[in-house]
Chains A and B, each alone.
Chain A
Amino acid sequence: MHIFKTLAKCIREYKRPMFVTIVLIVLEAVIETFIPFITANLVNLMKGGASLEAILKNGILLVALAVVSLTCGAVAAHACSKSSAGFAKNVRHDAFHKIQGFTFERIDAYSSASLVTRLTTDVQNVQMSYMMLIRTALRSPLMLIFSVVMAYIMGGALSAMFVFVIPVLAVGLYFIARGAMPRFRAVFKKYDKLNESIEENVRGMRVVKGFSREEFEKQKFTRASEDIRDDFYHAERIVALNTPLMQFCLYFNMIFVLLIGSKLSIESQGTLLDVGQISAMLTYGMQILMSLMMLSSIFVILTISSQSAKRLVEILEDDAKLPVSEHPVTEVADGSVTFRGVSFKYSEKAKKFALQDIDLDISSGMTVGIIGGTGSSKSTLVSLIPRLYDVSEGEILVGGRDVREYDLDTLRGAVSMVLQKNLLFRGTIRENLKWGNPDATDDEIIEAAKLAQAHDFVMSFPDGYDTMIEQGGTNVSGGQKQRLCIARALLRKPKILILDDSTSAVDTKTDALIRRGFEEFIPSTTKIIIAQRIASVENSDLILVLDGGKLIAKGTHNELLVTCPMYREIYHEQTKGGESDE
């Protein structure tokens, strides 16, 4: 119920077409139940040899009803399409909006693949159910009731058969749906896994072929596919019972009406029941069974899409936001950074701190290098500065104020970060760079690109800055991508620039050129550089050595060579000559 309420909030401006749909569809259902009634009249009139006038009167009434029903039906179908498409649009919009407001922690919690599924397949499923609901949720039960009532009015005793047919069909459909649903749910999960494994193969084809594992993969896939085939078959053969059950009821209806109908008709000499009514009873029977069938398919569709609805509501209700200061500061004084007793863990439940007791002073304009092994939390440390995560303990000051006091856009505008897992988006190089500053002039763009050592290779492309970048930036090399990402970050004219292992694919010389450019052209910007190569941080004003989430040493290169054994070890590993190999 709760899920319904949350999703219903997304209907908004499409409530009107929704109500139009419901009202018109109910109207259509009423008319549809009247039509056989009047037809029966017409048939009896014909049989009785009534005048043309009487027949035409009924005929015109029927045509009028059909025209009204057609109008209702068509307008309702139109309104329903509009409302459901609009509802889906709003759900997508709201979910996307929510995701844009997510903290990094939430983005980590949902994987990006799962977010994509939610925004695409799940919305489609929910839209289907919505359409089903407004079209049939009211119509089918109403149709059922009307038809039973009309059948009773008309057929009298003959309608007694529905006492038998309806429960048989209802119970039958219920058990079929109940039996099949869990099987379907289970096999759908397997099916998702199968698709994942296909994706793995597409992505890892070089590995598959490199190890000549084509036959192995084929066998593995055949097994998985046949397993799913059998599971699907077991679920579907239950659902397949629907058709014979339905046909049985229809056949029963036919024979019962013909046999008992003729008895009633003959015995009452046509007063209780006549051929017109007999044929109308068949129509009502059909309508009743169809309504039951529809109801059962609503049940099925709702169960199938309930998982989708749950996943969407999960996002729509996720209000995890970074707490905002009541009087946000909108000016960052300078590029100084201070860590005071900072500890951090990724989730409250985590046992281990990712960072522990970090104390640190970086003054504005300094160049700071960070060195440490895989998993030493280098990235975690820097991501606390633009408040991608909030500290668990202690505080971080930027420009002399706690980062939590700033307006988030102000803070992130002043702290420009080049992420380790960096991405370019589909669009021209110019468009990509403008992410850093939408109002940047061409001169500013070129300046930033030159500083990031990207200008020359950009100009070597036939289209220069108008070169299209493919999705994921696959048409530029790794080093080029990194340099474009740096240029993009530079365009923000940040007070603090953070490079998280952002030059790993760049040649040593270019790497050095970039750093030299920083010293020369943006001296007042604080530069924090995470690197694998000591060479990249050697000349920094301050080098931090991290290990297992702790700051184990800080100082200049020469100091650390003396004071920090780990630093010394890394340094020697990287610089030892070929001859001195053990």
Chain B
Amino acid sequence: MNKPMKRKINFRVLGRVLKLLFSSYPVMVPLSLLFVVFTAFTSAIPALFMQKVFEIIGAYEESGDFAMALGEILPKIILLASLYILSLVSITLETQMMAKITQGFLSKLRVSLFDKMQDLPIRYFDTHRHGDIMSYYTNDIGTLRQLVSQSLPTLVRTFVILMTVFFVMIYFSVPLTLVLLLGVVAMLFVSKVFGGGSAKYFIRLQKSVATQEGFVQEMMNGQKVVKVFCHETAAEEDFARLNEQLYEDNYRANAYANMLGPIIMNIGNILYVLIAVVGALFLLYEVPNLSISGMQFSGIVGISIVVPFLNMTKQFTGNVNQISQQINSIVMALAGAERVFELMDEEPEADEGYVTLVNCEVAEDGTITECEKHTGKWAWRHPHSDGTITYTLLRGDVRMVEVDFAYEEGKTVLHDVSVYAEPGQKVAFVGATGAGKTTITNLLNRFYDIADGKVRYDGININKIRKSDLRRSLGIVLQETNLFTGTVMENIRYGNLGATDEECIRAAELVGAADFIERLPDGYNTLLTGNGSNLSQGQRQLLAIARAAVADPPVMILDEATSSIDTHTEAIVARGMDKLMEGRTVFVIAHRLSTIRNSDVIMVLDHGRIIERGSHEKLIEEGGTYYRLYTGAFELE
């Protein structure tokens, strides 16, 4: 959005939009364009009929014998009428098809944008503002709608009309056409001046709209803080400043755009008069005409040329005006398209994993066989280059060995980290914000990839495991709870789409969420909207925990999962969590040391290094950082 918008039409982007459009509807798009051409053609040629009819009128006016004239007029009118009927049919078909094409194209674009977004790595979302991503869907696709449904058909239509009218004109008279072209040059000049000014201000307008929106968003979110600090007047002053800038750009951009119309139309009017006067002169002095038809400026034929020519002048300038009105929206739509394509061209999350997770049965002798049905036992299916396939039972044994990692090159945030978690063990991470606790979990589920070292899951290099299967085997509950629009039940089921209602309820009961859910107006069918804004922070966390519980993964990652639950409720959750954690490998990050005391191993992290490790008792005994932290005598900053 902050990139300077080019004023010129970007043909590369236009080409790509067109290609996408044609490939979406390979039959309908060319067909409807064909209809557009035909309609444009029929609306451009009546001048020919007019000229003929006027000629006939001239011929019979003296005698006043309409019956005789009708014989000559009627065939022409019938021909015109039949062309009109065909044209009406084609317009109807074209506009109906266009409605379908537009909506289909937009939907397709939305869906492919969304699909693409789902495939992007977490890094993309960590490094782009959410508002900017949203604006692809809300603003940029909106401008494309204008392009496809209006600008493109209008361009084709006006182009065809202009060409047809032009040929009819030189069919009638070359000198008059030259006069017209003179006027068109003037119009193009005016369009360029005003169009340029308008584009300049529209770009500024876009920017000040965005700035103002950002400010409003921030203020509305922090409205309570504003009031607590009696900051209302200051906020209003800041707002007034941005509002004034927005007004200024809004006013200028629209002024340029709006003035263009009347100016072009009236240049058209003047041109009309000019041609009328020139035509009159030609008629008066019977100046020899140069034309394809060979018609001359004399008598009846002369006037029958000039009058339709005048009408064509109106039509011609009207269409030039139409084009000039479309330029702005085309430039803006292409800028929008460019941004959309930028997202589409982002590198998707790579996944070379080929080890997959399968249901299995374990025979008494320990041999593992893959099976279709859900057995409650899982195995890693590991195909080898020699064609053999081995199976490894999913146990939840996770090892990180001497791992280094940097989000940005040169800024290493994890140094030489080694973590060993045996199946069923509870591993806790303690440390200040920024010490690298969350980063470790980011590496386990491969939201990010390690720079150096190795990570093994049940002895398999996790880079070899297909990401979706890896993540399926890891349940995560994050500090920031994200719920989705839908019922409570649907939100719990998110953890395991195949779960029955009973299983979801059981999961909720297990983690102690059932209590409050049952007290909701519609119980499990209560609709949640706006990230569960009708629930308290603690209740939302309980739902997130239930969601992870229903997934029933062998390994769980709890990242400050209970930070917003009060200690009383946490005690209830803790009981559920203890049950949930039974037999699973669990990684816990917590601020409250009370919640991690019973971990098998506690890792104390400092600036990306593990500085202490051991059980609670061992660490207390050692009297190091953990001891001082636990007793409140030390702070990890």
Contacts and interface: CB of A to CB of B under 8 A. Distances in A.
A63 interface: yes
A208 interface: yes
Interface stretch (A162-170, A244-252, A298-306, A358-366): A244-252
Contact of A208 (B118, B228, B283): B118
Decide if the interface of chain B is mainly helix, strand, loop or mixed.
helix
Contacts of B117: 201-202
Interface string B287-318: 00000000000000001101110110010000
Contact of B99 (A42, A240, A512, A533): A240
Nearest to A582: B575
Contacts of B213: 116, 120
Contacts of B81: 251, 255
Interface string A199-211: 1111111111111
B186 interface: no
A236 B110 contact: no
B501 to A, nearest CB: 18
Contacts of B311: 279, 282-283
B265 interface: yes
A104 B474 contact: no
A570 B568 contact: yes
Interface stretch (A84-92, A397-405, A517-525): A84-92
Contacts of A212: 467-469, 471-472
Contacts of B130: 199, 202-203
Contacts of A120: 209, 212-213, 216
B436 interface: no
Interface in B225-266: 225-236, 239-240, 243-244, 246-248, 250-252, 254-255, 257-259, 261-263, 265-266
A472 B447 contact: no
Contacts of B284: 46, 49, 51-52, 55
A190 interface: no
What interface size band does chain A fall in? 35 or more
B381 interface: no
A76 B255 CA distance: 9
Which of A52, A88, A119, A504 counts the most chain B CB atoms within 10 A? Answer: A119
B262 A28 contact: yes
B375 interface: no
B9 interface: no
B111 A222 contact: yes
A263 interface: yes
Given A66-B269, A207-B482, 13 more contacts: A52-B281, A59-B273, A66-B270, A78-B258, A81-B251, A81-B257, A96-B239, A100-B233, A203-B482, A226-B107, A477-B432, A509-B632, A581-B597
Nearest to A72: B262
Interface string B310-330: 110010000000000000000
Given A120-B216, A570-B568, A205 B91 contact: no
Nearest to B283: A46
B64 A66 contact: no
Interface string B52-88: 0110111011101110011001000100110010011
Interface stretch (A145-153, A326-334, A340-348, A409-417): A409-417
Given A100-B236, A478-B433, A578-B617, A259 B263 contact: no
A229 to B, nearest CB: 4
B635 A507 contact: yes
Interface stretch (B333-341, B451-459, B528-536): B528-536
Contact of A578 (B269, B434, B616): B616
Interface in B84-130: 84, 87-88, 91-92, 95-96, 98-100, 102-104, 106-107, 110-111, 114-115, 117-119, 122, 125, 130
A241 interface: yes
A203 B248 CA distance: 34
